Amino acid sequence: MTLETAPETARSAVATEGVAAETPTPSVPADANAHCPGVGSEGAGQADACAGCPNQTFCKTGQASKIIDPAPAEIAERLRDSIGSTYLVLSGKGGVGKSTFTSQLAWALSDSEKPEAVLAANPDMEAETTVAVLDVDICGPSQPRMLGCEGEQVHQSQSGWSPVYVSDTLCVMSVGFMLPRNDEAVIWRGPRKNGLIKQFLRDVAWGPQDFLLVDTPPGTSDEHLSLLTYLKQAGIDGAIVLTTPQDVACQDVRRILTFCRKVGVPIVGIVENMSTFVCPSCHQSSVIFPPTSGGGAALAAEFGVPLLGQIPLDPRIGKACDFGHSFLEEHPESPAAEAYRSIVAKIQEIAAQKAT
């Protein structure tokens, strides 16, 4: 059985290439070569990646481009009435703390109340903020551990797959719930990643959520292109881009900012993570990663986007993620918690402009 029809058996099936193939998608067939340019692209059937592909002739003659994938429209229909705002958490660099930031942002947002302007304009709306997290880092899923729900399973309901609820206002969906063991490797090529992301967006019954936060892997690869394809009609409200202060990180983050501009994804702002180290005991600050070219602030100025905040490096954040706890709840007076609250306020304000 496949992930498409049997999520309860997915834990034993998802980890290998031997799982039955999903129905081919018109954009990238399930049996396509790695780095398939897509059947509707100009290089379809002619690119170097197409050599030896069983679909090469079909694509080269233009027959494949006449097929319309219904998935983007189906996803738009499902998300239109269930998701308030969709934000991608991006970075061109690995190790800058995207998953850590996503989990703690989710905790913080789900523990906050909607702005007064939104509640005033919508008297029947609940004050609490509801948040869904989608983990599309398929080869390195971290959200189940960081949100304290590792070992939970995905269940089927009449309306689709049910996400795992961490609290009344926070839920998550991740391939990590489908692995038979925590150390199981997901050895998939692009088309299978593409298929699973489509299932997550189309088949998960997210329910009414104010925010959908999408935790992405580093770079600008298959997962990112799949998100753009399937969320094209539903819409992406923006990207929150993470960097660390040192120039080697900022250099790679420039690429993701350029990527967003090219594909038309609005940039909500930049977050500089691990900006300084603040000692939990004496509260003295030390620079661990020198911002030789100005760090996140200079990067934001260069691209003309907001600097959402600078989060200090605090070892207790890592400990909270290891144990699946909310750092802000455990250490509400810390400088890092204050930085997170400031970022949450800005994101709530941006979302409020859409809601009102």
Could you tell me the CATH number of the domain that includes residue 100? 3.40.50.300
Q: What is the reported pLDDT for 31? A: 65
Q: What is the reported pLDDT for 68? A: 66
| 289 located within any domain | yes
| 257 located within any domain | yes
Q: What is the reported pLDDT for 27? A: 63
- The owner of tokens 């949100």 is 147
| 54 located within any domain | no
Annotated binding site, which residues? 36, 50, 53, 59, 92-99, 279, 282
Which one, of 339, 334, 317, 309, lies nearest residue 240 by Cα? Answer: 309
User: Which region, left, alpha or beta, applies to residue 27 given φ > 0 means left and ψ of -120 to 50 means alpha?
Assistant: alpha
> Cα separation of 173 and 119, whole Å?
28
Which one, of 123, 131, 121, 141, lies nearest residue 208 by Cα? Answer: 131
Q: What is the reported pLDDT for 114? A: 87
**In sequence order, what are the beta bridge partners of 344?**
none
| 34 located within any domain | no
List the domain range (segments joined by +) for residue 82. 71-355
| Segment-wise mean pLDDT, segments of 10 residues, the chain, 356 residues | 42 40 50 74 82 82 70 92 95 91 97 87 88 95 96 89 96 94 86 91 94 94 90 95 94 94 95 90 85 93 97 95 97 95 95 80
Q: What is the reported pLDDT for 244? A: 95
| 83 located within any domain | yes
Which one, of 331, 349, 305, lies nearest residue 129 by Cα? Answer: 349
Strand spans (E) along 136-266? 155-157, 160-162, 164-167, 170-174, 209-215, 238-243
Annotated binding site for ATP, which residues? 92-99
Q: What is the reported pLDDT for 26? A: 43
| 212 located within any domain | yes
> Cα separation of 73 and 248, whole Å?
39
Q: What is the reported pLDDT for 268? A: 97
DSSP 11-67: HHHTTSTTSPPPPPPSSS-TTPPTT---TTSTTTTTSGGGTT-TTHHHHHTTSGGGP
Q: What is the reported pLDDT for 327? A: 97
The shares of helix, strand and coil residues in the chain, as percent rounded to the nearest 5, are 40, 20, 45
Neighbours of 116 (CB within 10 A): 10
| 335 located within any domain | yes
Annotated binding site for [4Fe-4S] cluster, which residues? 36, 50, 53, 59, 279, 282
Q: What is the reported pLDDT for 344? A: 96
Contact assessment for residue 326 and residue 111, using Cβ atoms and an 8 Å cutoff: yes
As for how many domains the chain has, the answer is: 1
| 342 located within any domain | yes
Amino acid type, 38: G
